Structures are given as structure tokens and as C-alpha cells.
Chain A
Amino acid sequence: EDQVTQSPEALRLQEGESSSLNCSYTVSGLRGLFWYRQDPGKGPEFLFTLYSAGEEKEKERLKATLTKKESFLHITAPKPEDSATYLCAVRTNDYKLSFGAGTTVTVRA
């Protein structure tokens, strides 16, 4: 059974304090790893797709990386507007995504 585990569950940061979120996965055949951002009371919003080990993607203060067993979402010099829940998901066939429970990030000014 595919498993996606995100850590930590919650992360409190001071503005400007860089940190990383972890997404570890156990799947039978990875066909893509996805990061989403979810604001309170809203639906998830797509951030990145990673397909192979060693791949990296960047968007503003966010950088996602992928290894054979896990992915990291690095937040560099975060701002309060980066506060959100970050979700990781893996795809093993064409039609289904398996999501982790998410990491809730709070950035204090």
C-alpha cells in the first residue's frame, strides 16, 4: 500500500528563518510527486511536480527537491504570507493521487 508521511506536523517560524519540510514515501512505482499549498478554508493550490531523483523546482521563496525515498520543501527567508498548510502527494497510476496529512507552517512577523 502506498504511504506518504509528512513531517513535522506543524512548524512555527520567525520571519526570515529558513527551514525545510519533509515528505517521505513508500510506493510501488513513483510517477510523480506533487506539492500543494492550502490556506484555511480553501482548496489546495498546486505548487510543483517532481518526477525523478535529483530534480529541483523553485518558486519565489520555495524550493522542492526529490530523492528516491523523500522530498523536501525548503522555505527560504519566509514571510507571514507563506503561512499555510503544505501538502505532498504521490502518483502511482494515471488516475489516483495519495496525499500526506500535511505540514502547517506559521510564520510570525
Chain B
Amino acid sequence: NAGVTQTPKFQVLKTGQSMTLQCAQDMNHEYMSWYRQDPGMGLRLIHYSVGAGITDQGEVPNGYNVSRSTTEDFPLRLLSAAPSQTSVYFCASRPIQNTGELFFGEGSRLTVL
């Protein structure tokens, strides 16, 4: 049971480039979410999804797109990377009926030059 898997673990981009951070979970969780973590700040919610075909914005959605075509996958897209998007990104999931414990991936460290 792999849990929540994120790829890549590390990525360096130039300003203006696009990329997709991948997130997959094998626990059949309906709820999936993306957070970013910056020094001195708490984890901030970017986007979340409560099931295939359903997504919604979190606290800091600007500059990011998401889609949810399957229960297992929830990719995060950066269309035109900016230095302000340099951060560590975490994907997390949980069953929809359990509003408590989130299961996190190991993170993707993104640097935008």
C-alpha cells in the first residue's frame, strides 16, 4: 500500500515555464488536496477536490490549475511559473466522510529561477 505518491520530488524551472506536479493515491479516498509550505508560514491550501470531476479553490489558488478525472489522480499545473511559486508542495487525501486525518505525500520541492 503506497499511500500518497508525489512526483517529481525536486524540480527547477525558469520563470515562465510550465509544469505539472503529479499526485496519486491508492486508498480510494474521495477528498484530495494540494498545499504549499513556505518557511515561517503554515501549510496553505491551494486547491481541493471532493471527487472525480469536482474541484474547488483553496486559500492561494492563483497561478495554479487542477483537474480530477479519476479518484486516484490529482495533478497540479503551473501554467507560467513565477519565482513566488518557489515552495514545497504537498498533496494530501482522506475519505470524504472522515473530516479528520489527512494522509500526506512526501512533498515536491520546486524552485523557480
Q: Which residues of A approach B to under 8 Å, CB–CB?
A: 4, 31-32, 34, 41-46, 49, 87, 89, 91, 94-102
Q: How far is the CB of B100 from chain A (nearest CB, A)?
A: 5
Q: How far is the CB of B68 from chain A (nearest CB, A)?
A: 14
* With A42-B106, A43-B107 as contacts: A98 and B100 at CB distance below 8 Å: no
Q: How far is the CB of B11 from chain A (nearest CB, A)?
A: 15
- Chain A residues near B104 (CB-CB < 8 A): 43-45
Q: List 6 A-B contacts (CB under 8 A).
A: A42-B107, A43-B104, A44-B102, A46-B102, A49-B100, A98-B42
B99 touches A32 (CB 8 A): yes
Complexed CA–CA distance, A95 and B47 (Å): 10
B42 touches A99 (CB 8 A): yes
B90 touches A44 (CB 8 A): yes
Q: How far is the CB of B6 from chain A (nearest CB, A)?
A: 8
- Chain B residues near A99 (CB-CB < 8 A): 35, 42-44
- Chain B residues near A94 (CB-CB < 8 A): 99
B107 touches A95 (CB 8 A): no
* With A32-B100, A41-B107, A96-B58 as contacts: A101 and B41 at CB distance below 8 Å: yes
Complexed CA–CA distance, A94 and B96 (Å): 9
Q: How far is the CB of A34 from chain B (nearest CB, A)?
A: 7
Determine the residue in chain A with the shortest Cβ distance to B45: A96
A34 touches B107 (CB 8 A): no
B42 touches A101 (CB 8 A): yes
Q: How far is the CB of B58 from chain A (nearest CB, A)?
A: 7
Question: Given A43, A97, A100, which contacts B106 in the complex, CB threshold below 8 Å?
Answer: A43
Q: How far is the CB of A9 from chain B (nearest CB, A)?
A: 8
B44, B90, B92, B101: most-surrounded residue (chain A CB, <10 A):
B101
B45, B56, B102, B106: most-surrounded residue (chain A CB, <10 A):
B102
Complexed CA–CA distance, A89 and B35 (Å): 13
B92 touches A43 (CB 8 A): yes
Complexed CA–CA distance, A46 and B102 (Å): 7
New A-B contacts (5) at CB < 8 Å, excluding given A87-B42, A87-B43: A41-B107, A43-B4, A43-B92, A46-B102, A49-B100
